[in-house]
């Protein structure tokens, strides 16, 4: 952590990043994944995009502001946290719990978005202001065991579970346009659309736009894991099914659970939520938004800033939940293609363009001056 103390009274800004990465298998890489090799203007290595690039850009931004004698009215804070990828409680949640004064801030910039994209014939920078909630659940379906050679004497929990899985997989929730997605659609369509119309509009644009939009309009259910009998010739008395479920920001498990029971239908089963993580949002009309939009207007005057809800979650939710921080995911990227970057994250040959890292430094300096200046 580092802190450029404010002279008093002004809002504080936290530049948040994480230093841990997922693993890398050197045999899949063109370079040593831990080399940080500079090749054709790109820094290669695990974490270049997720997210040591942003760690470095944040550090350079706050250090250069300090050297120049910048005197913010509120604190500018740098936090490079551990343990974001695994989430074992050693990273930002621990800081929020044990050292709240060290990480409390009015505004924060973190990972999540920032890419320059082409949608519906116009260029946009995306800024993530909301995240879906990871809300997986487990079904334990009960039957009666028996020898597999005499199916009639048993009540097969696996085949009972299969019918429930089919109903869950086929379920389509009512579509809702929440504020971030509504604002994004309005920017692209040039008018207000309903949720169904918005999806039809995206389908006309291209299949990828529709695939991206659809999960932002409702909760999603993906059955992913199943376990039943340990032996081929024993009919299972229980079958466990794990369903990856993602709720819209603001949706609660209490509100969704009765709906899920209706989808699953009658049957002898136990239902258990496994976790509830993320699912928070920050408002769109804030000084932080104005600061980021002001930066975009300066470096890319033709391009607008658009809000987006992301399907995954980041450390931002800890700040929102602990302190009510307005936290956005924004690290600008315009030299590297956004779809290439999305493929490289958590994958082999991850790399970041030096021009994008410099753009990130400029962004953080600009936002610190606008928000805390
Ligand atoms: Zn990350």
HEC string of 154-209 equals: CECHHHHHHHHHHHHHHCCCCCCCCHHHHHHHHHHHCCCCCHHHHHHHHHHHCHHH
Q: What is the pLDDT of residue 311?
A: 84
Confidence of residue 122 (pLDDT cuts 50, 70, 90): confident
Confidence of residue 121 (pLDDT cuts 50, 70, 90): confident
Q: What is the pLDDT of residue 120?
A: 80
pLDDT for 95 beyond 90: yes
Q: Return d(Cα 41, Cα 49) in angstroms, integer.
A: 14
Measure 331 CA to ligand 1 centroid, in angstroms: 12
The mean pLDDT value for 127-135 works out to 96
Helix (H, G, I), strand (E, B) or coil at 245: strand
The mean pLDDT value for 62-66 works out to 98
pLDDT digits (tens, 9 = 90+) for 330-361: 999 999 999 899 999 999 999 999 999 999 99
Measure 18 CA to ligand 1 centroid, in angstroms: 7
Measure 17 CA to ligand 1 centroid, in angstroms: 8
pLDDT for 129 beyond 90: yes
Measure 51 CA to ligand 1 centroid, in angstroms: 5
Measure 84 CA to ligand 1 centroid, in angstroms: 7
Measure 362 CA to ligand 1 centroid, in angstroms: 21
Measure 174 CA to ligand 1 centroid, in angstroms: 31
Q: What is the pLDDT of residue 174?
A: 92
Measure 204 CA to ligand 1 centroid, in angstroms: 32
Q: What is the pLDDT of residue 212?
A: 84
Q: What is the pLDDT of residue 312?
A: 84
Query: What protein residues have CB closer than 5 angstroms to ion ligand 1?
Result: 50-51, 111
Measure 111 CA to ligand 1 centroid, in angstroms: 6
Residue 228 near residue 157, CB atoms below 8 Å: yes
Measure 314 CA to ligand 1 centroid, in angstroms: 7
The mean pLDDT value for 148-155 works out to 94
Helix (H, G, I), strand (E, B) or coil at 229: coil
Measure 296 CA to ligand 1 centroid, in angstroms: 23
Measure 95 CA to ligand 1 centroid, in angstroms: 17
Measure 176 CA to ligand 1 centroid, in angstroms: 28
pLDDT for 97 beyond 90: yes
Residue 278 near residue 313, CB atoms below 8 Å: yes
pLDDT digits (tens, 9 = 90+) for 249-274: 999 999 999 999 999 999 999 999 99
Measure 24 CA to ligand 1 centroid, in angstroms: 15
Measure 112 CA to ligand 1 centroid, in angstroms: 8
As a whole number of Å, the CA-based R_g of the chain is: 23
The phi and psi torsions of 271 (rounded to 5 degrees) equal: -120, 135
The mean pLDDT value for 208-229 works out to 93
Helix (H, G, I), strand (E, B) or coil at 26: helix
Q: What is the pLDDT of residue 208?
A: 79
């Amino acid at each position: 952590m580092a802190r450029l103390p404010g002279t008093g009274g002004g809002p504080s800004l936290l530049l948040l990043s994480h230093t841990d990465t997922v693993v890398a298998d050197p045999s899949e890489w063109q370079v040593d994944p831990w080399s940080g090799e500079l090749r054709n203007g790109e820094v290669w290595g695990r974490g270049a995009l997720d997210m040591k690039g942003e760690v470095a850009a944040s550090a350079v931004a706050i250090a250069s502001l300090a050297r120049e004698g910048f005197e913010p009215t509120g604190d500018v804070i740098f936090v490079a946290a551990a343990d974001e990828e695994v989430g074992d409680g050693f990273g930002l949640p621990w800081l929020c719990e044990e050292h709240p004064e060290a990480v409390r801030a009015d505004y924060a910039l973190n990972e999540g978005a920032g890419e320059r994209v082409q949608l519906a014939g116009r260029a946009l920078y995306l800024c993530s202001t909301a995240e879906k909630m990871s809300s997986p659940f487990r079904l334990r379906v009960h039957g009666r065991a028996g020898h597999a050679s005499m199916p009639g004497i048993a009540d097969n929990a696996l085949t009972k579970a299969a019918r429930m899985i089919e109903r869950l997989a086929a379920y389509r929730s009512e579509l809702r346009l929440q504020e971030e997605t509504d604002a994004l659609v309005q920017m692209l369509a040039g008018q207000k659309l309903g949720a169904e119309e918005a999806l039809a509009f995206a389908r006309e644009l291209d299949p990828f736009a529709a695939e991206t939009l659809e999960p932002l309009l409702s909760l999603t259910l993906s059955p992913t894991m199943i376990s039943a009998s340990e032996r081929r010739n024993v009919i299972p008395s229980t079958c466990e099914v794990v369903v990856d479920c993602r709720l819209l920001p603001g949706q609660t498990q209490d509100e969704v659970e009765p709906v899920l029971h209706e989808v699953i239908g009658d049957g002898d089963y136990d239902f258990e939520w496994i976790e509830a993580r993320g699912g928070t949002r920050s408002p769109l009309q804030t000084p932080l938004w104005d600061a980021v939009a002001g930066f975009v207007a300066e470096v890319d005057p033709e391009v607008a800033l658009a809000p987006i809800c992301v399907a995954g979650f980041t450390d931002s939710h800890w700040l929102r939940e602990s302190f009510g921080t307005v936290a956005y995911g924004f690290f600008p990227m315009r030299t590297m293609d956004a779809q290439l970057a999305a493929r490289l994250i958590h994958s082999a040959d991850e790399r970041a363009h030096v021009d994008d890292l410099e753009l990130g430094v400029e962004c953080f300096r600009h936002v610190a001056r606008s928000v805390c200046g």
